[in-house]
Structures are given as structure tokens and as C-alpha cells.
Amino acid sequence: MLDLNMLLFSTSDFICIGIVALPLTMVIVSGGIDISFGSTIGLCAIALGVLFQSGVPMPLAILLTLLLGALCGLINAG
């Protein structure tokens, strides 16, 4: 039931959710609740997967994904 491996596995799942939730916390605290944040994360996750599967090196794929996220933010803010 509850052994150490299961506890560690569950903790690793929560860490991933926390990493995604941290930037959203800043958005909510600043008063700019933005419901498109989740869509942008989904788009960037798919783009990263497609780039990586296409053979793009991971550091470049991460950089391009960050630029895509920034572009979505600029378009959405304007």
C-alpha cells in the first residue's frame, strides 16, 4: 500500500505540477488572472515534443519552446 517507493513516485508527480504552477501563482497574485496560461503550456509542451521527435537537439528545442511561449505571451498581452 504505502511504501517508500510509492511515496517517492507520488512526490515526483507533485513536483512537476508545482513547477508548472509557480508562474501561474505570480500571474494570480499580480491580479492578472489569465485563463490562456494552460493553453500556452499545452502548446509549448506539444511543440517541444514535436521538435525533439524531429531530431532537433534538446537545448535548441528548449530554447525554441521558450521563445514560442514568450511570443504567445506577447500576443496575448497586446
pLDDT by residue (tens digit) across 61-76? Answer: 999 999 999 999 888 8
Residue 17 within any structural domain of the chain: no
Instruction: Note the pLDDT of residue 48.
Output: 94
Which residue range(s) make up the domain with 69?
35-78
Residue 5 within any structural domain of the chain: no
Instruction: Report the number of distinct structural domains present in the chain.
Output: 1
- The string of pLDDT tens digits covering residues 5-62 is 777 777 777 777 777 778 777 777 877 666 677 888 889 999 999 999 999 999 999 9
Residue 30 within any structural domain of the chain: no
Interhelix angle 37-53/4-29, rounded to 10 degrees, is 120
Contacts 24+ apart (CB under 8 A), 16-20: none
Please state the pTM of the whole predicted model: 0.59
